[in-house]
């Protein structure tokens, strides 16, 4: 500890402390970075929740990977986490889909998938012309055959809860919420609709709850009423301590009205219901932007992107930007099999470390069986080179990264941290010989130099600690950590 102008105090970690942290990492292994700051608090992360009116978009992919990784981080920080998907299978957008499948004058959704739906349901459509019923049938088909397989099989995301909007209507909860608002004298009727007097609670204008004076299985309810009921259930019945909703950029104006409803019910506010807005994604290939338009049917679906690039690349690239920033996705770079591609660069470093450890146990003077896993920490006092100490400082950042991300949800720290860690490892490997090349008289290849075995052991311990931390970081991002490439 030292004083520094103009009135600062500098804290410097001692070298002995740093070396001791390597032993802690080797001991903790896959548990390194696990924290207890959540103390078992019950948190729900709701994400993707795409309308079942078409295949998943790149925006859905960005929000999906973000939500999944945020849930990983919160669980690592000690929270009890539920991943939830809200299925918007009730309301006006489903009826609009029905018009589109029927190809009448009110059709809104266009594209190959709509034509395919019309063909798939052709026989059934001969006796079913009600756009509401057709829309429900089509939405069920899209969710079952286009959305859910992409989430589970391509994105490798496993939700703990799938919540249906229509089921909320059918349960009578939306009517219960409407009556609660009426009892509090916070609704009024105008123009044949029922309005929520939300301006009393910070909204910029009052909002329609029901477009007619009676709810008909939710068909006349706006988005807002079932959403209020949905969140009412989260807090009052499911008893979550905190709910984090991940929404697309087009929902930004929706935040104030939902928070106003929370104030009315006394169940949630900005502290226990946090809404994260994901900004738009632009896709580039060959230096040219590929335009996306869901209504025109010309957009590139998430499923199509994942057919072109690896899941690991998609996850890493989507995670590299803060949610409140627009993103340009370079598909050509994501396909690159070289150090130009950041995920390849990080994964190759993990494979390289694994190769070093294998060579240490297979060289002409191999380590005794099992010594890769124990014993190295006895020689850690020999780690004195600046590059060794700099690498250790990077390693011990992981718990701090997890704690900070669990607090502010900025998951883009993780890919950046993995790059910083790999750069530090490469610097260490360049400056500090880990496995000396042996003379031909002693054997060929790389192995343990008996003249300096203690230092070799210490550096192998540092390699193993780096492998552990790098793999733990990749695991948090849902990215594979290959042992060979």
The vertex-76 CA angle with 342 and 315, nearest 5°, equals 25
Fold of 2-31+339-477: Isoleucyl-tRNA Synthetase; Domain 1 (1.10.730)
Residues paired with residue 87 on neighbouring β-strands, in sequence order? 164
Q: Distance (Å, rounded) from C-alpha 282 to C-alpha 379?
A: 51
Separation in Å, CA 6 to CA 3, 9, 10, 155, 409 = 9, 9, 12, 51, 33
Task: Tell me the pLDDT tens digit for each residue of 423-463.
Answer: 999 999 999 989 875 433 444 445 555 567 889 889 999 99
The closest of 71, 31, 50 to 251, measured between CA atoms, is 50
Output the pLDDT for position 257: 94
Domain ranges of the chain: 2-31+339-477, 42-335
Going by C-alpha positions, the residue among 115, 117, 97 that lies closest to residue 107 is 97
Q: For the segment 117-167, what is each residue's pLDDT rounded down to a tens digit?
A: 999 999 999 999 999 999 999 999 999 999 999 999 999 999 999 999 999
- Alpha helix (H) ranges present in 55-142? 58-76, 92-102, 112-120, 122-125, 131-142
Q: What is the mean pLDDT of residues 366-383?
A: 61
* Tens digits of residue pLDDT in 399-410: 999 999 999 999
How far apart (Å, rounded) are the C-alpha atoms in residues 276 and 267?
19
Q: pLDDT at residue 364 above 70?
A: no
What local confidence, expressed as pLDDT, does residue 453 receive? Answer: 83
**CATH 3.40.50.720 for the 42-335 domain, yes or no:** no
Helix 92-102, helix 112-120: angle, nearest 10 = 80
**Measured distance CA(53)–CA(100) in Å, rounded:** 10
Question: pTM, whole model, 2 decimals?
Answer: 0.90
Q: Residue 433: what are its φ and ψ, rounded to 5°?
A: -70, 125
Cβ neighbours of residue 8 closer than 8 Å, sequence gap 6 or more: none
Question: Same CATH fold, 42-335 and 2-31+339-477?
Answer: no
Instruction: Give the span between the Cα atoms of 216 and 175, in whole angstroms.
Output: 10
Does position 244 have pLDDT exceeding 80, yes or no?
A: yes
* Cα dihedral across residues 416, 421, 424, 429: positive or negative: negative
């Amino acid at each position: 500890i030292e004083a520094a102008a103009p009135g600062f105090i500098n804290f410097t970690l001692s070298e002995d402390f740093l070396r001791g942290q390597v032993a802690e990492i080797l001991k903790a292994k896959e548990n390194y970075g696990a924290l207890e700051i959540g103390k078992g608090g019950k948190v729900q992360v709701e994400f993707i929740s795409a309308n079942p009116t078409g295949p998943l978009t790149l925006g859905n992919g960005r929000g999906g990977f973000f939500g999944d990784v945020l849930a990983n981080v919160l669980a690592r920080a000690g929270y009890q986490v539920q991943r939830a998907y809200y299925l918007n299978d009730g309301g006006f957008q489903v009826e609009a889909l029905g018009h589109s499948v029927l190809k009448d004058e009110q059709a809104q959704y266009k594209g190959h998938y709509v034509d395919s739906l019309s063909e798939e349901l052709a026989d059934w459509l001969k006796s079913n012309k009600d756009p509401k019923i057709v829309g429900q049938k089509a939405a069920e088909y899209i969710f079952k055959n286009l959305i859910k397989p992409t989430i589970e099989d391509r994105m490798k995301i496993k939700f703990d809860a799938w919540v249906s909007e229509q089921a909320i209507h059918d349960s009578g909860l939306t009517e219960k919420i409407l009556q609660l608002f009426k009892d509090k004298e916070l609704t009024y009727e105008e123009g044949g609709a029922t309005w929520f007097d939300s301006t009393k609670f910070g909204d910029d204008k009052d909002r329609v709850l029901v477009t007619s004076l009676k709810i008909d299985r939710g068909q006349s309810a706006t988005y807002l009423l079932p959403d209020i009921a949905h969140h009412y259930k989260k807090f009052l019945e499911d008893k979550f301590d905190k709910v984090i909703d991940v929404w697309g950029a087009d929902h930004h104006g929706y935040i104030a009205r939902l928070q106003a409803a929370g104030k009315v019910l006394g169940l949630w506010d900005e502290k226990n219901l946090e809404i994260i807005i994901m900004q738009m994604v632009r896709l580039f290939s060959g230096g040219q932007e590929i335009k996306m338009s869901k209504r025109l049917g010309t957009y590139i679906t998430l499923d199509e992107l994942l057919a072109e690039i690896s899941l690991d690349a998609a996850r890493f690239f989507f995670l590299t930007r803060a949610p409140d920033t627009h993103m340009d996705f370079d598909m050509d770079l994501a396909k690159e099999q070289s150090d130009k591609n950041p995920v390849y660069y990080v994964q190759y470093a993990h494979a390289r470390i694994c190769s070093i450890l294998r060579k240490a146990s297979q060289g002409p003077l191999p380590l005794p069986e099992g010594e890769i896993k124990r014993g190295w920490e006895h020689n850690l006092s020999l780690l004195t080179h600046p590059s060794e100490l700099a690498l250790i400082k990077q390693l011990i950042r992981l718990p701090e990264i997890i704690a900070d991300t669990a607090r502010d949800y900025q998951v883009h720290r993780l890919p950046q941290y993995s790059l910083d860690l790999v750069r530090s490892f490469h610097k260490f490997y360049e400056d500090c010989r880990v496995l000396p090349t042996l003379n031909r008289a002693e054997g060929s290849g790389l192995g343990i130099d008996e003249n300096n075995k203690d230092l070799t052991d210490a550096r192998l311990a540092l390699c193993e600690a780096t492998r552990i931390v790098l793999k733990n970081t990749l695991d948090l991002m849902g990215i594979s950590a290959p042992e060979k490439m």
